[in-house]
A = this chain, B = another copy of it.
C-alpha cells in the first residue's frame, strides 16, 4: 500500500532509510467511496493527498451554479488546494472521488515539519512542482490556442484510457466547454 508512495519518491530522489521512514510515518491511509468528498468549498484544506488508487476531480461552482472541473487526479498524483493548504484560507474548491479510491494524506503540520529539515523531501516536492508547472503552462497554452474540437482530440490522443474512466460531462467541463458541445464533436468524429 505505502510502497506505491515509496516507489514514487524513489523515482525522483534518494532519501536515507531514516528520512523515508520519518516521512512515511506521517501519512495516514484512507479508503474513499465513489462520490465521497475529501474537500468541500468553504472548508480549510488541511491535507495534501497522494492517490494510491482511484480517481478524483476538483471543481468549483461558478456564479451560474455550474460545476467547473479544474483538475483530475489519478494514481501517483498529489492532490490538494495549495491556496487553502499553504495560505490557510477557506477553499473555493471541492475534491470528490469519481471512483472508489485509496489515498494517503499528510497534514499541513506534518508537511511543514518534514520540510523543515529534510533535504530529499524538499527536493521531491520541488521536482513535483516543477512538473506541475510544466503541465499547467502547457494547459494554458492549449486553452489559448486550440479550438474545442482540437482540445478534445488532443486530450484523447494523450489520455485514451482516461477518457473511458470518467463521465463525458466532467471531461467537457475540464476542457472548458459544455457537454452538449462535446456530444456534437463526437457525433462529427464517428460519422
B130:A130 contact, CB within 8 angstroms: no
Number of copies: 2
Question: A27 to B140, alpha carbons, bound, how many Å?
Answer: 30
Cβ of A132 to closest chain B Cβ, rounded Å: 6
**Residues 61-79 (chain A) with a chain B CB within 8 angstroms:** 62-63, 68, 70-71
Distance of A108 from chain B, by nearest CB (Å): 12
Q: How far is it, in angstroms, between the C-alpha of A138 and the C-alpha of B83 when the chains are bound?
A: 9
The DSSP consensus for interface residues of chain A is helix
Closest residue to A150 on the B side, CB-wise? B63
* A115 within 8 A of partner (CB): yes
* Number of A residues with CB within 8 Å of any CB on chain B: 36
Provide 22 A-B residue pairs closer than 8 Å at the C-beta atoms, listed in order of the A residue: A62-B145, A68-B141, A70-B141, A82-B130, A82-B134, A83-B134, A83-B138, A86-B131, A86-B134, A92-B141, A115-B123, A119-B119, A122-B122, A122-B123, A126-B126, A126-B129, A129-B129, A133-B136, A136-B136, A136-B137, A140-B140, A140-B143
Question: Which chain A residues have a beta carbon within 8 Å of chain B's beta carbons?
Answer: 60, 62-63, 68, 70-71, 81-83, 86-87, 92, 115, 117-119, 122-123, 125-126, 129-134, 136-141, 143-145, 176
